Structure 1
Amino acid sequence: MNLINKEVTHKRFGKGSVVKHNGSIIEIHFATENKKFVFPDAFGNHLELHDKSSADSLEKVLQKRKIEREKEEQEKEEEKRLQRKEQQLRSEHEKLMKNHKLHPESQMAFWCDAEELSQIFTEWKVFTGAIKSGNNKGTPKIPSRIYQNSVVLLTARESSMPEKDRRILGAFMANEKFIGKFCEDGYIPAHSEYRLQLTEQQSAGMPFWKYYLNEKSPRSMTWNTGKFRYFDNVWMTQILLDMVSLKSDTHERELAQNFFEHFCRMNRIRKEDLPEPNGALMRI
């Protein structure tokens, strides 16, 4: 839009003509001096164009600018709303975790079926299974003890092998924002950083029953039913420590060590206080 030499009227400085116009600045010569204004904003507030054709074109520019500003304001308000909501959720979560008392058995041993193994180690999440009877039949089981201090221990055994040969395949911390009692779909997603998968050779050196036992039948090695069971925080610490020792690759060992140290912090456990593993397999 060429506005050079176009006549204008300013509410305060009177009549003048445009002498310069470069993008966002327009300069106007009045009777005694030149004045610079922001373009096109000044025309919506203080300046008026005399030329009707130019004024009509300018009005379209002003309307477009108005719509753009309204959109920007809406986006800013939406961003502020989302930030407020995020802050509220964060505050509620921090308050909940602050008041959360650590359960001594807030770790989960999970039975991985052969057909779901590849999916678990690509998607890094497990499904707790569905309730099989009663009023809630068919609905997902709620992992109520699982918080951000919890680890899901991945285990399996060959169908042809006895239960005592169940081995550990890997483990992951629950997602940073996961709160089990609020879980409605039964899926426990992994932490973005703390997750480990063992090689077949490493897994062979990690028998599940070396660490786990049923307090009522300490020499019995039976899983019975269900996809998961809760178990002792200390046992999980023993398992993670042994995983560190199994990792020979420098990078993998560092990841395992970081995992172990994070778990100890979250569960207020000191490495120095750890007893030796004493699961059912050690009592035969």
Structure 2
Amino acid sequence: MNLVNEMITHKVFGKGQIIEQDDAFITIDFEEDTKKFVYPDSLGNFIHLKDREVAKSLEKILIQTKKEKQLREQEREEEQRQIAEEAYRRERLKNLKIHESSQVVFWLDEEEQNNVIDNWTVFTGEVQSGKNKGKPNIVARLRPNSSVLLTVREADQAETVRKVIGLYMVPETFSGDDNEDGMIEAHEVYRIKLTETEAEKILFWNYYLNKNYPHRTTWNSGKYRYFDNMITAQILKDIVALKTDEAEIKQAEDFLQYFSEMNLLDLSELPEASGALKQ
């Protein structure tokens, strides 16, 4: 807005006229001196325009300018927050000792399935014997690089058809050693639920292998077991290929990228799945 030649009143210097203006400053000619002020911040605070219509128009511009400035500040703050979070995550990753079997897979019964997916939290179960009987199981290997795999099969089905219905990363501050209540919550971002049709194509035993008994597909006891981090990457890679919705593909790709970074995996060297069903 061009304010050159507009008459003003200054709280200290009295009446004056704007004689120069650019994007950052205005120059005002007072009776005794000529002074330069920051534009537009000085206007409306201690400098007031004489023409009311021009003042009203300027006020609208100043309000919009203030909103834009606040938005830019918020964007800068958000950018700085993200940079700080990324630096913090990388620092944690640098100091994180990666265990090759720090992932965990759960066998969910029919009652648990919907509850776990709806709440994105799984219970580790209780110790069945010994001095800690009745207390929650401690999943000591889990760290911020860990994923949780959720699997099911019907009671009358063979173990070979155990399917993956979802998976998630643990929160970035999670430590299995300190998880005394046995509840493993999901990361706010990195979590995926599979449709029934999709789950039929992601069979657990296509990926998992008991190295001592490579042809066996048995889960004799226990609510969960640990597995290699390569398996999660292989499953995520197949989910990316399986999805058809663009947003869901992006979600799976981001999950895979985050997981590979957290586990120091080179995706270009990721081997093909070689579970018991592929032997």
TM-score (norm: length of structure 1): 0.65
- What is the SS of the residue equivalent to 2:154? coil
Structure 1 residue aligned with 2:56: none
CA–CA separation in structure 1 for the residues paired with 2:93 and 2:127: 28
CA–CA separation in structure 1 for the residues paired with 2:99 and 2:269: 18
2:153 is the counterpart of 1:157: yes
Conservation of the 8 A alpha-carbon contact between 2:93 and 2:262: no
Structure 1 residue aligned with 2:221: 225
| AA matched with 1:172 | Y
**Structure 1 residue corresponding to 2:258, chosen from 257, 262, 266:** 262
How many angstroms does 1:176 deviate by? 1.9
2:205 is the counterpart of 1:209: yes
Deviations 1:206-239 (A, max 9, x none): 1100000111100000011111100001111101
Structure 2 residue aligned with 1:101: 97
Structure 1 residue runs of 5 or longer lacking an equivalent are 1-90
Structure 2 residue aligned with 1:272: 268
Structure 1 residue aligned with 2:191: 195
Structure 2 residue aligned with 1:48: none
CA–CA separation in structure 2 for the residues paired with 1:122 and 1:163: 25
CA–CA separation in structure 2 for the residues paired with 1:244 and 1:219: 27
Percentage of matched positions with identical amino acids: 45
Deviations 1:103-147 (A, max 9, x none): 001111111111111111111010011000001100101111111
Query: Using a 3 Å threshold, how does the CA distance of structure 1 residues 115 and 234 change in structure 2: closer, same or farther?
Result: same
Structure 2 residue aligned with 1:248: 244
Query: Using a 3 Å threshold, how does the CA distance of structure 1 residues 96 and 253 change in structure 2: closer, same or farther?
Result: closer
Alignment map for 1:77-226 (pairs within 5 Å): 98-226=94-222
CA–CA separation in structure 2 for the residues paired with 1:198 and 1:95: 32
CA–CA separation in structure 1 for the residues paired with 2:203 and 2:117: 19
Deviations 1:143-168 (A, max 9, x none): 11111111000000011111011011
How many angstroms does 1:97 deviate by? 5.8
Query: Using a 3 Å threshold, how does the CA distance of structure 1 residues 265 and 209 change in structure 2: closer, same or farther?
Result: same
| AA matched with 2:114 | S
RMSD between aligned alpha carbons? 1.6
Conservation of the 8 A alpha-carbon contact between 2:166 and 2:192: yes
Structure 2 residue aligned with 1:3: none
How many angstroms does 1:98 deviate by? 4.6
**4+ runs of 1 displaced by more than 2 Å?**
93-100
Structure 2 residue runs of 5 or longer lacking an equivalent are 1-87
CA–CA separation in structure 1 for the residues paired with 2:165 and 2:142: 20
Matched residue pairs, number? 192
TM-score (norm: length of structure 2): 0.66
Query: Using a 3 Å threshold, how does the CA distance of structure 1 residues 279 and 263 change in structure 2: closer, same or farther?
Result: same
